[in-house]
C-alpha cells in the first residue's frame, strides 16, 4: 500500500520539478466530463466519453474531445479496450501553447486492471495512443502579421499510465455511497517523432465521488495539470476543477 502511494507521489513530484526549466503559463481551468458504459453481453461493452474544458474559469475555451470505445472483459480484474478520440484544442492562456485551433485524431488500445485490498480499490490503466496531430504553418500577411492554418498532420505516439486509489467514506446497506479518490496520470512521448521532451503531461488527482445508485455517479476532483509543448520551450501549470458524471447501464441484463 505504501509503495503504491509513493509511486503516485513520485510521478507528481517529477512533473512539478520538470516545470522549473521552461517558460511557464498558468491557467485556472474548469472541466465538464461525461463517461458512460453500456454492457452488451457478459464480456462486451460499449463506452462513450466526452469532455468540454475551459481555461481561466469559463472565460476561454480550452479543449473538447469525444471518445467512443469497445471494451472486452478478459478476466474478472482485466479489461481491454480499443477506441477512437477526436480532440480540438483552442488558443487560450498567456502565453498560449498554440497559434491556432489544433485538431487531433487518436486510435488507441488500452488495458485496465482493477484489484482490491480490504476497503481499498486500486485501478491501473495503460493506454497506447496513435495520434494524428494537426500542424499549423504561418503565412505572412501584407501588414507583416501572420495567420496560421493547419497544413498537415504529424503522427505521434504517446503512452498514458493512470493509477488511482478509491476508499469508501460512507456506506449504506453495505453499498458505497461517498468515496475518496487519489491518483496520478503520466503522459509519455515515445517513438521517432516524440518531440523534445519525454513528458507530455502529468495530472495529480484528488477528490470525491458519490453513487446515487448502480447506474449514476458524480465526481468532483481537483487536478493539478502540467503540460509540456512539443519543443519543450513552454510549460503550463494549471490548477483544475473537474466535474464528472458517470453512467453504467446493463442492456444485456434487461433483455434476458
pLDDT digits (tens, 9 = 90+) for 24-65: 889 999 999 999 999 999 999 999 999 999 999 999 999 999
pLDDT of residue 125: 98
Is the pLDDT assigned to residue 16 strictly greater than 70? no
The partner residues of 196 in beta bridges, in order of sequence, read none
Is 210 in contact with 245 (CB distance < 8 Å)? no
Percentage of the chain surpassing pLDDT 90? 78
Question: Model pTM?
Answer: 0.88
Percentage of the chain surpassing pLDDT 70? 90
Measured distance CA(187)–CA(194) in Å, rounded? 12
Give residues with Cβ within 8 angstroms of 20, minimum separation 6: none
Amino acid at each position: 500500500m505504501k509503495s503504491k502511494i509513493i509511486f503516485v507521489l513520485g510521478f507528481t513530484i517529477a512533473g512539478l520539478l520538470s516545470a522549473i526549466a521552461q517558460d511557464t503559463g498558468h491557467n485556472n481551468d474548469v472541466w465538464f466530463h461525461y463517461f458512460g458504459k453500456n454492457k452488451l453481453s457478459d464480456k462486451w461493452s460499449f463506452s462513450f466519453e466526452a469532455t468540454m474544458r475551459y481555461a481561466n474559469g469559463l472565460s476561454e475555451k480550452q479543449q473538447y474531445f469525444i471518445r467512443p470505445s469497445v471494451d472486452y472483459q478478459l478476466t474478472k480484474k482485466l479489461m481491454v479496450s480499443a477506441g477512437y478520440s477526436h480532440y480540438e484544442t483552442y488558443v487560450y492562456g498567456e502565453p498560449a501553447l498554440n497559434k491556432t485551433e489544433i485538431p487531433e485524431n487518436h486510435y488507441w488500445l488500452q488495458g485496465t486492471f482493477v484489484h482490491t485490498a480490504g476497503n481499498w480499490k486500486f485501478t491501473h490503466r495503460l493506454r497506447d495512443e496513435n495520434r494524428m496531430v494537426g500542424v499549423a504553418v504561418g503565412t505572412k500577411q501584407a501588414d507583416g502579421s501572420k495567420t496560421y492554418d493547419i497544413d498537415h498532420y504529424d503522427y505521434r505516439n504517446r503512452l498514458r499510465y493512470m493509477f488511482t486509489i478509491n476508499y469508501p467514506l460512507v456506506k449504506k446497506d453495505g453499498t458505497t455511497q461517498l468515496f475518496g479518490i487519489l491518483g496520478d496520470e503520466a503522459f509519455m512521448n515515445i517513438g521517432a517523432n516524440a518531440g523534445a521532451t519525454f513528458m507530455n503531461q502529468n495530472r495529480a488527482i484528488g477528490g470525491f465521488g458519490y453513487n446515487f445508485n448502480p447506474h449514476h455517479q458524480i465526481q468532483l476532483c481537483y487536478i493539478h495539470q502540467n503540460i509540456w509543448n512539443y519543443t519543450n520551450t513552454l510549460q503550463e501549470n494549471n490548477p483544475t476543477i473537474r466535474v464528472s458524471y458517470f453512467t453504467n447501464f446493463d442492456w444485456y441484463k434487461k433483455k434476458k
